[in-house]
Amino acid sequence: MPPWETCLQRLQEHISADAFDSTIRPLQAQPVQGGIKLYAPNRYIRDEVNREYLPLIIEFLAEFGGGSRIRELEVEVGEPSEPEPKGPKPSIQGRICKHRGRGGLDPAYTFENFVEGESNRFAKVAARLVADNPGRDNNPLLFHGSVGLGKTHLMQAIGNLIQSRDADESIVYCHCQVFLESMVEAVRLGSGAMQQFARRYQSASVLLVDDIQFIAGAPQTQKEFLRIFNRLWDGGRQIVVTCDRYPRFVKGLEGSLKSRLSGGLHVQIKPPGKAMRVAILKSKARNRGVSLSEDVAGYIATVANANVRELDGALQSVIGQAQFVGDEVNLGLAQDALRHLVGGPGRMINIGEILRTVADHYDVKPSEILSKRRYRHLVRARHLAMYLVKELTSRSYSDIGKEFGGNHHTTVKSACAKIERLIQIDLVLDQEVRSLISDLKR
C-alpha cells in the first residue's frame, strides 16, 4: 500500500497551506486490498478534493507503487470503518458524554411521561417524528424556549426511544457546558487529545446537544462543533439541539453556526398555561401514587407558575410535607408547604397586598376596585383581585365577598370561575396573572 503519509507530505509541498489545512488534512485514508480509500468529513470537502486535487493525489500515490485501482480513486463522505474491537463492548453509559453529576441519558425522560398540551404539542410531535426516522428530513431538530419547559426531557426521550429499539445505536448526549470544558482541556493536552475529543462526538449515530447557548462567545469551540456537526449531518446522522432562545438571538454565536442550526426543523416550547400545569401536576402525582384534588392541583399550579421545573419542585414539597406530618394531601397542607413560594417563611399574602398590586398593574386605586363602578377595566381588575385572593389566601368566597364591598359569595365564585376559564384559553391573561403573582411573591 502506498503510504498516505508520504503522499501528504508531497501534497503539502505543492498546495497552499490554507488549502491543505481546510481540504486535505481532514481526509482520512483506509488501506483496501490493492489500494487506498479516502474519506472526507463532509460533501463540501469531498467535492473540493474531487474537483481540485484528485489528479495530484493519484499522481503522488501512483509514484509510490499504486496500480490501476488508484487511478480510479474516489473520495467518499464518511469514516473508515474500524475493525470490531476485541473484548466486551463498552456499556451504553460508557459511550455517552457525561452530563455533570449524572451519567448520560436519564431513563426517566420518556415520551410516555411527557405531558402534552397547547404549548408543547408540536414539539412532541416533532420529537416523535425524529425518533421514528432519525437522520431524515428534520435534521437538525432544534428546540428553543426558556428554562424548565421540557427541552432536555424531549431531547432525551428521543435518545431513550431510539436506544430502546436498538441497544447498539450510539446515542451521544452532551450538555454544551461539558462540551466547552472538555474541548478546553483537549486543546491544553494537545493534538492526540483533540482527535480523541472529536472522535467521541463523530462516532455518534444520534448527537443530542443541550443548551447550545453555552458555547456563545467561544469561536474555537464553535468551529470545532460546526466541523463535527457537518460531518455527522453529511453522514446522515441525526442531530438534536436545544437553545434557550432562537439561535439568531444568541449573542456571540457565529453566523455559520446560526444558519446551520436554523436549517432543519425548529420548534419553540412555550410556558404551559394553567390547564396544562394542572394536567402535569396530576400526572406527576399519579406517577408517585398520590391523587390530587382539583383545588390542590389548582393551588399549586397558581403559585408555582414559572415553569415545569418549579411546578415539579412544588409538588415534591407538598408530597414531602404530607409524608412528614403523616397526613393526606389537602389544600391547607399545600398552602402550608408552599409558603416559601408565596412569600417569606411563615408569611401569607394578604388581601391588602393583592389589592395594591392589582391596582398598580391596572393603574387604578384600590378603592376603585372595591367600589361598585362597572367600567370594563375596573371589572377586570376586580375579578382578577378576587381570583388572586381565592387562590393565594385561605379566605372563603363569602369572606372575599364581604371584603369586596359586600358582594354575595356566588358573585365572587362566578368571578373566580370566569378568570379561571379565561386563563385556560388566553395566554396573555395567563402571563399577566403569573407576573402579578411573581410581584406578590417579592
Q: Which residue is nearest to ligand ADP (CB)?
A: 150
Q: Note whether 7 and 61 are within 8 A (CB).
A: yes
Which one, 121 or 248, has the nearer CB to ligand ADP?
121
Q: Which does 150 bind (CB under 5 to 8 A by kind): Mg ion, ligand ADP, none?
A: ligand ADP
292 binds ligand ADP (CB under 6 A): no
A 10 A CB-CB count for 176 gives 21
Which one, 151 or 231, has the nearer CB to ligand ADP?
151
Closest approach of ligand ADP to the CB of residue 282, in Å: 11
Among the listed ranges 45-53, 143-151, 233-241, 434-442, the one in contact with ligand ADP (CB under 6 A) is 143-151
Q: Note whether 381 and 369 are within 8 A (CB).
A: yes
Q: Which of 46, 144, 151, 274 binds ligand ADP (CB under 6 A)?
A: 151
Query: How far apart are alpha carbons 313 and 338 in whole angstroms?
Result: 10
**What is the total count of residues that contact Mg ion (CB under 5 A)?**
2
Which one, 116 or 439, has the nearer CB to ligand ADP?
116
**Beta strands 28-32 and 35-40: pairing type?**
antiparallel
Look-up: residue for cell 410516555? 112
147 binds ligand ADP (CB under 6 A): yes
Query: How far apart are alpha carbons 158 and 37 in whole angstroms?
Result: 34
Closest approach of Mg ion to the CB of residue 375, in Å: 44
Which residues are CB-neighbours of 339 under 8 A, at least 6 positions away? 345, 346, 347, 348
Closest approach of Mg ion to the CB of residue 150, in Å: 8
Q: Which does 129 bind (CB under 5 to 8 A by kind): ligand ADP, Mg ion, none?
A: none
125 binds ligand ADP (CB under 6 A): no
Q: Which does 174 bind (CB under 5 to 8 A by kind): Mg ion, ligand ADP, none?
A: none
Closest approach of Mg ion to the CB of residue 185, in Å: 23
319 binds ligand ADP (CB under 6 A): no
Q: Which does 153 bind (CB under 5 to 8 A by kind): ligand ADP, Mg ion, none?
A: ligand ADP
120 binds Mg ion (CB under 5 A): no
Locate the DSSP E strands across 12-163.
Answer: 28-32, 35-40, 75-77, 141-144
Query: How far apart are alpha carbons 236 and 229 in whole angstroms?
Result: 11
Q: Which backbone phi and psi does 437 adopt, to 5 degrees?
A: -65, -40
Which residues are CB-neighbours of 186 under 8 A, at least 6 positions away? 193, 194, 196, 197
Which residues are CB-neighbours of 18 under 8 A, at least 6 positions away? none
149 binds ligand ADP (CB under 6 A): yes
Among the listed ranges 107-115, 166-174, 222-230, 380-388, the one in contact with ligand ADP (CB under 6 A) is 107-115
Query: How far apart are alpha carbons 351 and 226 in whole angstroms?
Result: 55
156 binds Mg ion (CB under 5 A): no
Which one, 126 or 358, has the nearer CB to Mg ion?
126
Q: Which of 39, 53, 60, 114 binds ligand ADP (CB under 6 A)?
A: 114
Q: Which does 308 bind (CB under 5 to 8 A by kind): ligand ADP, Mg ion, none?
A: ligand ADP
Which residues are CB-neighbours of 36 under 8 A, at least 6 positions away? 1, 2, 4, 29, 30, 61, 66, 70, 73
Q: Pick from 29, 13, 277, 4: which is nearest to 148 by CA?
A: 277
Give pairs for 56-65: CB < 8 Å, separation 24+.
56/11, 56/14, 56/15, 57/7, 57/11, 60/6, 60/7, 60/10, 60/11, 61/2, 61/4, 61/7, 61/36, 62/2, 63/2, 63/10, 64/2, 64/3, 64/6, 64/7, 65/2
Closest approach of ligand ADP to the CB of residue 241, in Å: 12
Which one, 44 or 246, has the nearer CB to ligand ADP?
246
148 binds ligand ADP (CB under 6 A): yes
Instruction: Scan residues 321-380 and list those touching ligand ADP (CB under 6 A).
Output: none
Closest approach of ligand ADP to the CB of residue 164, in Å: 18
Among the listed ranges 55-63, 84-92, 150-158, 299-307, the one in contact with Mg ion (CB under 5 A) is 150-158
Closest approach of ligand ADP to the CB of residue 395, in Å: 31
Which one, 286 or 377, has the nearer CB to ligand ADP?
286
Q: Note whether 135 and 174 are within 8 A (CB).
A: no
Q: Which of 23, 42, 119, 152 binds Mg ion (CB under 5 A)?
A: 152
A 10 A CB-CB count for 133 gives 12
**Binding residues for Mg ion, per CB under 5 A?**
151-152
**Binding residues for ligand ADP, per CB under 6 A?**
113-115, 120, 147-153, 280, 308-309, 312
